[in-house]
Each structure stands twice: as structure tokens, then as C-alpha cells.
Amino acid sequence: MRKDALLTGMMALAAVSVLLTGCTDVTNEKPVIYLYPEQVQEVYVQLELDGEFTCTYPEYDNGWKVKAYPDGTLRDQGTGKEYNYLFWEGTSGTEYDLSRGFVVEGKDTAGFLEEKLAYLGLNEKERNEFIVYWLPRMEDNKYNLITFQGEDYTEHAKLKISPEPDSILRVFMVYKPLDKAINIPEQELEPFEREGFTVIEWGGAEME
């Protein structure tokens, strides 16, 4: 049975317009896609982005065609090269919701991400790669307003995967640096359980 674990958000942007400005042409940074089939198999991955790709690796040629292994190793069917994940970046005019989330001191960012990413369902390797990429951008800020997006992200970056995975988790963090702490309702997060052929994605964006 397919299990989609997509984190939810609200669209009450008017209430937090002071926090969410300049939403046009947001860069979705380093979304990476891991494939974990139960057995070695060929997988075709397509991404319908409401915007433009700025970088893909391996090259996105109307999709990625790979041979996927249970340990996460991917072999490109065109070149024969091996990869740990599928990588893309792109721009879009998506408006992200920051009305609920977490306000975290910059110095506490690493511990916060370790805790929340583990709760959401990223394994140790995936958490490490997420934090290594994002921590240098966040830990020197006085505070960070951190949210995890749901349909605001997934509806503008639609994944089509064949064969269809049994479970899929798409973690997309949006954050905004703050000079001082603010009070907002805490976001409720939903834990994820891996089942069968599992697909994991993580990425993020910074709001100015």
C-alpha cells in the first residue's frame, strides 16, 4: 500500500506578510532524491517543476533512467556512472507558508535539525548530508524561522516515479534569518515509516 508522507502547511500568508516578502523566483536549493528499492531494478524518475531548472546531476534528459540498488546506489542507464542520489536545483514563483514553524537560535540549529530530521524519518546518512549543506548558512544567524513545507512545495515540484514507490517522504525546509525572536504557532510534524520501495527527498530554500 502506498504511503505518502507529505508534511502539511497553511495558506494564511496575510497574517504573516511581514515575514514573507519577495517570494518571486525562489531558488529551490539542492533537492536530492534517494531511491531504495527492495531489489535491484530499473527506475524512471520525472520531475514536473513549476519553474526552471538551474542545475541537475546527473543530467536531466526528460527524466532520469537509473538502475537502483537496495543500498541506495544508482547507476545511470545512459552513461553507466554511479551516483548516491539524483540532484536538482531550480527557480519558481512558489509562495511558501511561514505562519507556523520554529524559531531557533543560530547556535542551536544543528541540534534542532538533528532532532527534527530524525523525527521526520531521515536516516543518519541523509541527516548528515542535509545538515552539512545547510548548517553553514544558518548557524551564524541570530535566529532562524524554520518551517517544513507540504503541498506548497510538492504541488509545484511533482515527482513521477516508475515503478511507483510504496512509500515516499519529501522534506523541504524553508527558513528565514531573523535579528530577534518572534512568537508564532509551532508546526506539527508527522513521522514517517519506510515501507517497501522507499523514496526520500530533501531540499530547502532561504527567504530574504
Judge whether residue 192 has pLDDT over 90: yes
Mean pLDDT, residues 55-71 taken together: 97
Bridge pairing between strands 74-76 and 82-83: antiparallel
Tally the domains of the chain.
1
> Quick check: pTM over 0.85?
yes
Residue 14 lies in a domain: no
Mean pLDDT, residues 96-119 taken together: 97
Instruction: Please give the residue range of the domain that contains residue 195.
Output: 3-8+24-206
Any alpha helices (H) in 6-159, and if so which ranges?
109-120, 124-138, 151-154
What is the share, in percent, of the chain residues with pLDDT greater than 90?
Answer: 83
Residue 201 lies in a domain: yes
Residue 174 lies in a domain: yes
Residue 16 lies in a domain: no
pLDDT for position 149: 96
pLDDT for position 27: 77
Per-residue model confidence as pLDDT tens digits over 124-143? 999 999 999 999 999 999 99
Contact by Cβ (8 Å): 80, 134: no
Instruction: Go through 6-16 and write b for each residue having 16 or more CB atoms within 10 A of its CB, e for each that does not.
Output: bbebeeebeeb
Residue 90 lies in a domain: yes
Residue 168 lies in a domain: yes
Least confident of 22-26, 27-31, 157-161: 22-26
Bridge pairing between strands 157-162 and 41-49: antiparallel
Residue 93 lies in a domain: yes
DSSP letter at 69 equals -
Judge whether residue 23 has pLDDT over 60: no
Residue 19 lies in a domain: no
